[in-house]
């Protein structure tokens, strides 16, 4: 008896499923347009209600994109000398902390060299890079005094 009911239910469901699938296939473009238009209407209403919050978020994202993510190449290029020195000190303190993981401390060591390069690039900008060649450092060094 249970098997007969199961067969009857399967028999009824199959034509309904086939007809529904056929209807969806036939009207897929209309369904797609309706879904897109409903989504657009919802996003428009939410955008109008939260216009100030969205504009504030957009401005902060714009500044973040222009500046670059923390410790990225773009950040190193755009950061000021003070920012670099403050961030370098934080990384240096992490590097010398023996309680931290060695892998993290190794990353800090690599990051310190990037800081040193960026800081020296700013400090040496417009100056001739050279070695100290004063005669007080040895008789074999020429004197530029």
Two structure tokens written together for 108: 């800090």
CB 128 within 8 A of CB 119: no
Cβ within 8 Å of residue 77, ≥6 positions away: 68, 118
Confidence at residue 129, expressed as pLDDT on a 0 to 100 scale: 61
Q: What is the pLDDT of residues 72-128, one digit of tens each?
A: 888 888 888 999 999 999 999 999 999 999 999 999 999 999 999 999 888 888 777
CB 14 within 8 A of CB 22: no
Q: How far is CA 137 from CA 70, 107, 131, 132, 142, in A?
A: 41, 37, 11, 8, 10
| More reliable by pLDDT, 44 or 97 | 97
| More reliable by pLDDT, 75 or 12 | 75
- Which H/E stretch holds residue 49? helix 28-49
Confidence at residue 87, expressed as pLDDT on a 0 to 100 scale: 93
Cβ within 8 Å of residue 140, ≥6 positions away: none
pTM of the entire predicted model = 0.48
Q: Which of 2-16, 30-44, 45-59 has the lowest mean pLDDT?
A: 2-16
Q: What is the pLDDT of residues 55-67, one digit of tens each?
A: 888 888 777 777 6
Cβ within 8 Å of residue 122, ≥6 positions away: 81, 84
């Amino acid at each position: 008896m249970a098997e007969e009911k199961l067969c009857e239910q399967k028999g009824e469901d199959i034509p309904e499923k086939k007809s529904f699938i056929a209807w969806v296939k036939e009207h897929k473009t209309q369904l797609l347009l309706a879904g897109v238009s409903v989504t657009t209407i919802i996003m428009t209403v939410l955008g109008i209600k939260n216009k100030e919050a969205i504009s504030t978020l957009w401005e902060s994202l714009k500044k973040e994109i222009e500046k670059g993510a923390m410790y990225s190449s773009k950040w190193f290029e755009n950061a000021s000398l003070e920012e670099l020195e403050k961030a370098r000190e934080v990384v240096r303190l992490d590097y010398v902390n023996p309680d931290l993981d060695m892998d993290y401390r190794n990353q800090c060591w690599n990051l310190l060299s990037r800081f040193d390069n960026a800081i020296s690039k700013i400090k040496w900008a417009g100056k001739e890079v050279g070695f100290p060649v004063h005669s007080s450092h040895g008789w074999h060094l020429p004197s530029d005094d």
